C-alpha cells in the first residue's frame, strides 16, 4: 500500500502544490513510525512554475500558512534552491513507486480527496502521467472511522514505540506516517 499527502496554497484541485510525500508500507511487516519516515519520498515543488501556468493561490490559505510553525513553513512554503520542477518532482514519485512490484495495483491512501484531485490535476496540466489510477485511491478518514469507531477521522495509535508529540503537523512525510500508523494500529474508540 501507498499513502500520499500534499501541502497546497488552496483547497481546490488547481491549487499550487507546495510539497508532497509518498510512503509505501506493508501491513504484514508491522512498520514503526520511524520505519515509515525512513521509507518515504518527499518532493518540494517550485511554486512559481505552477503560478506561471495559472495554478491558484488562495489568500485565506496563504494567511493560514503564515500562522503555522516556522519549521513547516520552511519545509513547504518558503522557496529554496532545492525546489523541483513539476517534471522532476513527478519523476521522483514514478521512480519511488517503480521500486515496488505491481505498484499500479496497490491502494493509494490519502486524507480526503484534495490530495488526489490536486496531484492528478497537476499531472494533467503538465502533460504527465498520474501517479496511479483514479480507482486506486482510498480515504484514510473514512477507514479510520469505520475500523475504530471514531467520527472525526482520527484515532489514538496503539504502538509501543509511537510518540504522538514527535509528529510534525503539516509536514507531508509526517502526515503520511501518522495516517499509516492510525490505519495499522488504531485504538478502538470507547463507546459511551
167-180 pLDDT per residue, tens: 999 999 999 999 99
| Structure-block grid coordinates of residue 93 | 514519485
* The pLDDT of residue 190: 72
Helix H or strand E encompassing 137? strand 137-139
Interatomic CA distance for residues 81 and 3, integer angstroms: 27
* The pLDDT of residue 159: 96
Where exactly are the structural domains of the chain? 2-139
Over residues 163-169, mean pLDDT: 96
Q: What is the pTM of this model?
A: 0.95
Cβ contacts of 187 within 8 Å, gap of 6 or more:
148, 155, 156, 157, 158
Q: pLDDT tens digit string along 81-132?
A: 999 999 999 999 999 999 999 999 999 999 999 999 999 999 999 999 999 9
Radius of gyration of the chain measured on its C-alpha atoms? 16
* The pLDDT of residue 137: 98
pLDDT band at 191 (very low <50, low <70, confident <90, very high): low
Q: Is the pLDDT of residue 47 over 70?
A: yes
Over residues 49-77, mean pLDDT: 97
pLDDT band at 192 (very low <50, low <70, confident <90, very high): low
Fold (CATH) for 2-139: Nucleotidyltransferase; domain 5 (3.30.420)
Amino acid at each position: 500500500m501507498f499513502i500520499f499527502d500534499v501541502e497546497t496554497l488552496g483547497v481546490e484541485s488547481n491549487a499550487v502544490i507546495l510539497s508532497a510525500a509518498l510512503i509505501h508500507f506493508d501491513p504484514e511487516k508491522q512498520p514503526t513510525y520511524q520505519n515509515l519516515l525512513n521509507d518515504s519520498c518527499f518532493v518540494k515543488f517550485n511554486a512559481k512554475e505552477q503560478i506561471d501556468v495559472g495554478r491558484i493561490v488562495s489568500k485565506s490559505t496563504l494567511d493560514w500558512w503564515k500562522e503555522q510553525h516556522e519549521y513547516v513553513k520552511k519545509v513547504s512554503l518558503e522557496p529554496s534552491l532545492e525546489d523541483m520542477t513539476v517534471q522532476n518532482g513527478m519523476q521522483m514519485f514514478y521512480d519511488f513507486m517503480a521500486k515496488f512490484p505491481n505498484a499500479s495495483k496497490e491502494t493509494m491512501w490519502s486524507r480526503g480527496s484534495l490530495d488526489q484531485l490536486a496531484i492528478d490535476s497537476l499531472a494533467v496540466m503538465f502533460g504527465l502521467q498520474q501517479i496511479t489510477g483514479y480507482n486506486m485511491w482510498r480515504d484514510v478518514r473514512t477507514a479510520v472511522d469505520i475500523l475504530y469507531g471514531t467520527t472525526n477521522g482520527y484515532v489514538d495509535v496503539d504502538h509501543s514505540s509511537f510518540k504522538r508529540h514527535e509528529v510534525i503537523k503539516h509536514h507531508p512525510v509526517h502526515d503520511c506516517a501518522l495516517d499509516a500508523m492510525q490505519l495499522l494500529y488504531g485504538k478502538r474508540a470507547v463507546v459511551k
